[in-house]
Structure 1
Amino acid sequence: MPLCATCGQDNTEGARFCSACGRPLEAAAPPREVRKVVTVLFSDVTGSTNLGERLDPESLRRVMARYFEEMKAALESHGGTVEKFIGDAVMAVFGIPVLHEDDALRAVRAALEMRERLDRMNEDLERDRGLRILTRTGINTGEVVAGDPASSQTLVTGDPVNVAARLEQAAQPGEILIGEGTHRLLRDAVDAEQIAPLSLKGKGEPVTAFRLHQVRPGAEAVRRRIDSPMVGRDRQLSLLNQTFEAATMDRACHLFTVIGSPGVGKSRLVQEFVAAISERATVLRGRCLPYGEGITYWPVAEMVKQAAVVTDDDAPDAAAAKVATLLPGEEGGLVA
């Protein structure tokens, strides 16, 4: 039945005008589809049949409800869209509705956080019920056809989706397998071990896969290889050098902001400037994270840790003592 776009009234077939408001009835526009490069994650509970045998239906429902809540929170905290739950499996997409340059990295971080959350949940289950939940996960990146994000259509289809599902099925309990497309993007950001090529259902040739171990500390989604000579930035480089000389002579802080479109050469310009002054100044680097909680002062914290040579293995008291050495005289005692 034709639906009026103005008032929402249902109308009889063949009607040209709305029977309620009199407005002309327009033909519904066909759904718009788009091609996108996204990262797809599948994760499934292994041994769920045995789990159902050991728990009564109400207890099983509570356990699985908590499991899905934890997994959904981990996925969404990294910007993933949970497309659907299938039995005791979950499918999520990174890059729908909003595309990010680090979607692949977000997906593997989410998978690792899912495993960490499950470990904490298993501690409670072992204590209270004497059982554990094990999962296996598959991740793959590639071009898919997606529904129109403007109309909240998140369904994605394509070979990368099928491969992600097959990787999940091929993984051992507790394993995270990533496809070749994902590994190609993250080879400088993760520690992953290539496994024997997999013969997956529906694929004519064996599929290359990698067992994910960890994301390297401080890893960036895109490692920029900027080793070619810089061309055509003499004026901007001169401005940076002049500002540095002014800061040195005035013994005062100067803020210099480099703004430009993606790919225009901001990082290359800064690298050239830093290389020129590295013997005359201590250079500290801080990054603004694209998402997360408690990241407002992250760049400042990174620079302080570099200056004080604080490592992630340092205990809080040891880290505070190192930071205190940066402050003059009695001010060091203010560090807690």
Structure 2
Amino acid sequence: MLITTPVGSREAVSAARWPVPEERRTVTVLFVDIVGSTGLVERLDPEDVRTLQRAYFGTVSGVLRRWRGVVEKYVGDAVMALFGAHGCDGFDAYRAVRAGLEIQAALDRRPAGDTRLRVRVGVATGEVLVDLTGAHDGGHGAASGAVITTAARLQEYAPPGGVVVCPTTRRAVAGLVEQRPLATMTMAGKAEPLDVWRVTGVSRHRPARHHGPLMGRRRELADAADEVVRALRERRPRWVSLVGPPGSGRSRLLHELTRAVSRVDGAEVRWCVAHCPPYPDGELAPLADLVRALLTP
């Protein structure tokens, strides 16, 4: 159905700003701060403080860029980064969490002199208003929204060397990282307490469990099954590609395909399913989903 919006005049249309300079988007915000920075600075010479800061900020910003994070601002010793400010592929929260884990590991490998830095990391996911022209490294004030305050408060609850996440981030990275409940946090201005989870490491991929009945997609499932059966009978490889945005049901359709084609002409079909989450830029090309089926009759 075509929906039209009346305007006052042709001049009003031509005066509209395009492309749109700001947009509401769901992003993941990461806050990282040094543990005990005040006492640390008090006992160091200014030259040593400068060396420490350069090593710290250089390491943190380098890790964030590798995981496609945008450094939005520096607040004292804290660094705030955005993931998903320019676009979303469904893995922004995962990249932010992995960046938080890698920041501490990188600081452990690169001590600044005799000083070992420990940091706290808070990660929160939610809706913000993004200045698209200002969403770049050092783009102070590029994003506005309550999730920024949530990420900053989460960082304060993180143990030294720890990465903590909000419930939305926890759900977004479920099955990709190991998590355990940490505490229930009461934030000023929020009516309900917030559950806090700590990320303890990267988990091995576990196939998703699908207990409910498949709704729709019967035609797509039948077409894919026909291609697989034809490949087996002809003993020639064929390519079946399932394309769609995150949450559209690709994994569920693949799960149903393995169930639908379990035997062909009396012979058992063996499926091998692999999953590849994003890797840092410069190591491997980011892959939203990599599913390769090796079939043997």
Normalising by structure 1, we get a TM-score of: 0.68
Matched, 1:208 2:195: yes
Structure 1 residues 224, 62: closer, same or farther in 2, change over 3 A? farther
| Superposed CA offset, 1:56-110 (max 9, x none) | 2223212211211111111121111110112211000111122231211111111
CA distance, structure 1, for counterparts of residue 179 and residue 109 of structure 2: 24
Structure 2 unpaired stretches of 5+: 1-13
Alignment-derived partner of residue 247 in structure 1: 231
Alignment-derived partner of residue 156 in structure 1: 143
Displacement after TM superposition at 1:258 (Å): 3.6
Matched, 1:286 2:268: no
Displacement after TM superposition at 1:262 (Å): 5.8
Normalising by structure 2, we get a TM-score of: 0.76
Contact preservation (8 Å) 2:30, 2:151:
yes
Contact preservation (8 Å) 2:121, 2:158:
yes
Alignment-derived partner of residue 118 in structure 1: 107
Letter in 2 for 1:82: V
Matched, 1:229 2:217: no
| Superposed CA offset, 1:183-239 (max 9, x none) | 23334433222233223345455332122212322379xx684742353534x4444
SS at match of 2:184: coil
Larger C-alpha radius of gyration, 1 or 2? 1
CA distance, structure 2, for counterparts of residue 78 and residue 112 of structure 1: 11
Contact preservation (8 Å) 1:196, 1:209:
yes
CA distance, structure 2, for counterparts of residue 40 and residue 297 of structure 1: 20
1 or 2 for the larger relative contact order (CA 8 Å, sep ≥6)? 2
Displacement after TM superposition at 1:249 (Å): 3.4
CA distance, structure 2, for counterparts of residue 265 and residue 202 of structure 1: 37
Displacement after TM superposition at 1:42 (Å): 0.6
Letter in 1 for 2:55: R
Structure 1 residues 273, 175: closer, same or farther in 2, change over 3 A? closer
| Superposed CA offset, 1:90-135 (max 9, x none) | 000111122231211111111111111111123xx4xxx3321111
Displacement after TM superposition at 1:33 (Å): 2.9
Paired-residue identity, %: 34
| Superposed CA offset, 1:282-311 (max 9, x none) | 211234544534436999x9979x99xxxx
SS at match of 2:194: coil
Q: Which has the higher helix share?
A: 1
Contact preservation (8 Å) 2:122, 2:164:
yes
Higher alpha-carbon deviation: 201-210 or 27-36 = 27-36
Structure 1 residues 203, 248: closer, same or farther in 2, change over 3 A? closer
SS at match of 2:39: helix
Structure 1 unpaired stretches of 5+: 1-25, 308-336
Matched, 1:198 2:182: no
Equivalence map 1:317-336=2 (5 Å): none
